[in-house]
Chains A and B, each alone.
Chain A
């Protein structure tokens, strides 16, 4: 027992009950026990503090060396401000801009950054790109940040061993990586364990085939149409619908041709339906389309991914028509009508029987079906043609799909053209949400005009504020002076002056990361 613990025990119980332990090195002190105990304890306390000895501990394994340089110091300072809550929504843009020029976040800011990714999943890919090797090294030491180890993948996900032993997320990452480099090897890998994977796993793995999809995958996908899992069947059918030239595509083409028929016009005479031979252009150009939605649903349709009950609020027959057209190669129509997509999309459409007047609903069903096909097949000519009409404007997913199918250079102008024609405010915002920053040119013009109108008018609800918020994230920072001017014309409207401020903030931010 050390002298110190003897003194602690005595003090604990009290010198009235316990004698004062002897301490030879203490100078002669007072006779009173309590005073002597305290004096001796003072000596021991200072001795213990001054004589403190170092201990041993295991050093943390060092992080791998970095190849990317740090961002400049003013950019780092701005990141600190963003992380502490200033214009927090521009964080992803900061990270992406840093990653674009091959630079990384300074380690002192990593803990706060990784903390943000805990609650905000959408940030994780951006964090993974800019956090450097230090970020992954740090994340391996804190379970809260484990997502980063998964998100950044790294060498360990490439290891074939991962397919046998990894977690579900690691296995998906492994398969995605393999699909990008060697789709056949990925298919072989998946086939090797396919039969014993549970249905949710099969669905997630099959979804990875979106990468590197080709006719070589057809047999595998065709077999998956008979899978026990509903979700697996749905994914297989959707993937097959992108594969032009497959047996699936031919089955759909047959169904589709029974649904839409061109009607040739004859000068002066009554309109006459023509039943052309397959793959043979019409002698006379068609002047309208007659739609015959399927009368019946059958097992073969179900197998090919056409459900009995449409997911949308339309009649069953209309739903089947939309699904069939959405899964049919668009070349079917250019061949059948002998016209370019723009002309086909301009033709009037009647439902059921020649001589019927053109009808709105039929036209909408057909155009939406085509729009989904154009999005799936990434057919720019059809996308352009369908965007010219009004039928797709009311359906946000279809509209967004068409815009995505356009070449990147055209997308912005096409959005600028489409957005003012959308009547519903929520739909407008949803479409704009899908257009990545920076908005410049015609799109910026349209958005600024919309802001002006929304703030000036008595537009109800949150639309003006929401549009300001989104514009703050997306508008090209070079538009800041125009927003200043706009804010000057609507003084007292907070969101607008905030928008001008965010743009200036982003302008400086991007300049620092250039």
Chain B
């Protein structure tokens, strides 16, 4: 696996349909794209190592010159759709994926667009970094921000104590907007991460809500206390506390730090809406180090999300971890070879729980932990709720109503399931089974 392919690849190999369709901004885009992907509907198509272009001939008068820059990817299409990529760009990529686009030199307008567009990208790196405020510039502004955050957290602490003093039953009758108000004040105090955490309290499920509220309030106060004592904390824990509050670390800083090379199994991918953005969580699991990693990416609704890590692949890569007591979030710093497909290494249920307990000891605010469970079978309890049970008979609840695909793939026999674990249940994201290989659940 240590083939010295350290050079960054500029020539991009042809993508599979799966990967193209992963760019679709919503479910309806997929069939729409497949529909416009017929070779008869395209003229003057071409591609080179890093771009694809062509002219779409719709029914009737419409005709669009479409270009795709594969490196980002970025799209250009003059159609009125506000989706990015639109069905024409996706359709063109599908056509290319099927091998129906011949190699060619880009015509002048395409070459110009590519040049202009790349120029812009270089000047504004990471324009879509998430939750990202502009990096702090001067020591004075930094100090100012530190003070504002501290004041905001003191106010949050007062509010939390007040809630508990009056009783949560009282809060339960309050409208859902109370958390929005608190969150807004935290935004003003520049504690962004904390603000979105508070806002989400408004959408807790009614079942067991008060208990959850007490859990969340107590952990929020723990964070306030930790921030108050930040100067006494060891450096890694201080980094954890700061990032949970909303201080960001630039990608450059992360990439400048130490890196971990491993064969990373892409265990699962989950898209959730967060602060009017779509956040994509990709969970990785090192096959040699046994380490877990989380690669986050964000996009506005209707925009393409990063699709560079395909679930089920094992990627020989170097990851740079964000600093913290429990380094979990990471960036892909370098890739060393094309991804391969091979069975992942998994743990037992007991192994997962031990890992999760260790992780909580280092980061008590941890919300979820990646699970790769080997040799588990689908199971049901007396009420018919779905579980996974391992060879030792230890069972975990599944937190998903539709488990039919999981059930079908296993056929009632042991297989490997990956997902997001929290004590509320395992959200299954992918499976590995001998006959079918990787399956997205």
Tell yes or no: B60 within 8 A of A by CB: yes
Tell yes or no: A81 within 8 A of B by CB: yes
* Contact A110/B408 with A11-B168, A492-B59 known, Cβ cut-off 8 Å: yes
Tell yes or no: B290 within 8 A of A by CB: no
Q: For the complex, would chain A's binding face be called helix, strand, loop or mixed by DSSP majority?
A: helix
Tell yes or no: B350 within 8 A of A by CB: yes
**In the complex, how many angstroms separate the beta carbon of A494 from the nearest chain B beta carbon?**
5
Question: By the criterion CB–CB under 8 Å, are B411 and A8 in contact?
Answer: no
**In the complex, how many angstroms separate the beta carbon of A311 from the nearest chain B beta carbon?**
44
Question: By the criterion CB–CB under 8 Å, are A111 and B405 in contact?
Answer: yes
**In the complex, how many angstroms separate the beta carbon of B395 from the nearest chain A beta carbon?**
4
Contacts of A16 on B, CB cut-off 8 Å?
165-167
Tell yes or no: A331 within 8 A of B by CB: no
Question: By the criterion CB–CB under 8 Å, are B218 and A41 in contact?
Answer: yes
Digitize B350-382: 1 where CB-to-A-CB distance is under 8 Å, 0 elsewhere: 100100110011001000000000000111110
Tell yes or no: B407 within 8 A of A by CB: yes
**In the complex, how many angstroms separate the beta carbon of B108 from the nearest chain A beta carbon?**
28
How far, in angstroms, from A107 to B59 measured CA to CA in the complex? 38
* Contact A34/B219 with A14-B170, A134-B411, A501-B40 known, Cβ cut-off 8 Å: no
Contact residues of A between 66 and 112, Cβ < 8 Å to B: 70, 77, 81, 84-86, 106-108, 110-111
Tell yes or no: B436 within 8 A of A by CB: yes
Tell yes or no: B222 within 8 A of A by CB: yes
Contacts of B356 on A, CB cut-off 8 Å?
49-50, 52
* Contact A60/B168 with A41-B214, A55-B395, A134-B411 known, Cβ cut-off 8 Å: no
Tell yes or no: A33 within 8 A of B by CB: yes
Among A16, A57, A108, find the residue whose CB has the most chain B CB atoms closer than 10 A: A57
**In the complex, how many angstroms separate the beta carbon of A66 from the nearest chain B beta carbon?**
9
How far, in angstroms, from A425 to B60 measured CA to CA in the complex? 27
- The residue in chain B whose Cβ has the minimal distance to the Cβ of A65 is B411
Question: By the criterion CB–CB under 8 Å, are B436 and A108 in contact?
Answer: yes
Question: By the criterion CB–CB under 8 Å, are A137 and B436 in contact?
Answer: no
Question: By the criterion CB–CB under 8 Å, are A484 and B379 in contact?
Answer: no
Question: By the criterion CB–CB under 8 Å, are B59 and A494 in contact?
Answer: yes
Question: By the criterion CB–CB under 8 Å, are B408 and A11 in contact?
Answer: no
* Contact A42/B364 with A35-B221, A50-B357 known, Cβ cut-off 8 Å: yes
Contacts of B404 on A, CB cut-off 8 Å?
110-111, 138, 142
Tell yes or no: A461 within 8 A of B by CB: no
Tell yes or no: A54 within 8 A of B by CB: yes
Question: By the criterion CB–CB under 8 Å, are A34 and B161 in contact?
Answer: yes
The residue that A497 contacts in the complex, of B38, B219, B360, with Cβ under 8 A, is B38
Chain A binder among B81-89, B242-250, B386-394: B386-394
Question: By the criterion CB–CB under 8 Å, are B436 and A107 in contact?
Answer: yes
The residue that A57 contacts in the complex, of B39, B361, B389, with Cβ under 8 A, is B389
Digitize A140-173: 1 where CB-to-B-CB distance is under 8 Å, 0 elsewhere: 0110000000000000000000000000000000
Digitize A338-380: 1 where CB-to-B-CB distance is under 8 Å, 0 elsewhere: 0000000000000000000000000000000000000000000
The residue that A46 contacts in the complex, of B167, B168, B364, with Cβ under 8 A, is B364
How far, in angstroms, from A46 to B169 measured CA to CA in the complex? 23
- The residue in chain B whose Cβ has the minimal distance to the Cβ of A47 is B360
* Contact A32/B40 with A13-B169, A58-B380, A494-B59 known, Cβ cut-off 8 Å: no
Tell yes or no: B31 within 8 A of A by CB: yes
- The residue in chain A whose Cβ has the minimal distance to the Cβ of B431 is A108
Contact residues of B between 380 and 419, Cβ < 8 Å to A: 380-381, 387, 389, 393-397, 402, 404-405, 407-409, 411-413
Tell yes or no: A288 within 8 A of B by CB: no
How far, in angstroms, from A49 to B221 measured CA to CA in the complex? 17
Contacts of A110 on B, CB cut-off 8 Å?
404-405, 408
Contact residues of B between 117 and 169, Cβ < 8 Å to A: 157, 160-162, 164-169
**In the complex, how many angstroms separate the beta carbon of B59 from the nearest chain A beta carbon?**
5
Contacts of B215 on A, CB cut-off 8 Å?
41, 45
Contacts of B423 on A, CB cut-off 8 Å?
48-49, 52
- The residue in chain B whose Cβ has the minimal distance to the Cβ of A48 is B423
Contacts of B168 on A, CB cut-off 8 Å?
11-12, 14
Tell yes or no: B210 within 8 A of A by CB: yes
- For A, the interface residue count at a CB cutoff of 8 angstroms equals 62
How far, in angstroms, from A106 to B217 measured CA to CA in the complex? 47
Question: By the criterion CB–CB under 8 Å, are B377 and A60 in contact?
Answer: yes
Tell yes or no: A196 within 8 A of B by CB: no
Tell yes or no: A408 within 8 A of B by CB: no
Tell yes or no: B211 within 8 A of A by CB: yes
Question: By the criterion CB–CB under 8 Å, are A141 and B41 in contact?
Answer: no
Digitize B255-286: 1 where CB-to-A-CB distance is under 8 Å, 0 elsewhere: 00000000000000000000000000000000
Question: By the criterion CB–CB under 8 Å, are A55 and B408 in contact?
Answer: no
- The residue in chain B whose Cβ has the minimal distance to the Cβ of A144 is B404
* Contact A58/B218 with A33-B165, A107-B408 known, Cβ cut-off 8 Å: no
The residue that A39 contacts in the complex, of B41, B222, B413, with Cβ under 8 A, is B222
Tell yes or no: A223 within 8 A of B by CB: no
Tell yes or no: B349 within 8 A of A by CB: yes
How far, in angstroms, from A42 to B387 measured CA to CA in the complex? 28
The residue that B164 contacts in the complex, of A38, A44, A51, A494, with Cβ under 8 A, is A38
Contacts of A180 on B, CB cut-off 8 Å?
none
**In the complex, how many angstroms separate the beta carbon of A58 from the nearest chain B beta carbon?**
6
How far, in angstroms, from A42 to B377 measured CA to CA in the complex? 34
* Contact A38/B59 with A55-B395, A58-B381, A487-B40 known, Cβ cut-off 8 Å: no
Digitize B101-119: 1 where CB-to-A-CB distance is under 8 Å, 0 elsewhere: 0000000000000000000
The residue that A55 contacts in the complex, of B18, B30, B397, with Cβ under 8 A, is B397
Tell yes or no: B289 within 8 A of A by CB: no
Q: What would be 28 A-B contacts, judged by CB atoms less than 8 Å apart?
A: A11-B164, A14-B165, A37-B164, A38-B221, A41-B217, A42-B218, A45-B215, A46-B360, A49-B423, A50-B357, A54-B353, A54-B394, A55-B381, A57-B387, A58-B379, A59-B389, A62-B411, A108-B405, A110-B404, A111-B408, A134-B411, A484-B40, A492-B59, A494-B59, A497-B38, A497-B40, A497-B41, A500-B40
Q: Which 8 A-B pairs have the closest CB atoms?
A: A14-B167, A62-B412, A54-B394, A41-B218, A42-B218, A57-B387, A63-B411, A57-B379
16 further interface pairs, Cβ-Cβ under 8 Å (given A34-B160, A53-B353): A8-B214, A11-B164, A11-B168, A34-B161, A39-B221, A41-B217, A45-B214, A63-B412, A86-B31, A86-B35, A106-B436, A111-B408, A138-B404, A497-B40, A497-B41, A504-B39
Which residues of B are at the interface with A, using a C-beta cutoff of 8 A?
17-18, 30-31, 34-35, 38-41, 59-60, 157, 160-162, 164-170, 210-211, 214-215, 217-219, 221-222, 225, 349-350, 353, 356-357, 360-361, 364, 377-381, 387, 389, 393-397, 402, 404-405, 407-409, 411-413, 422-423, 433, 435-436, 439
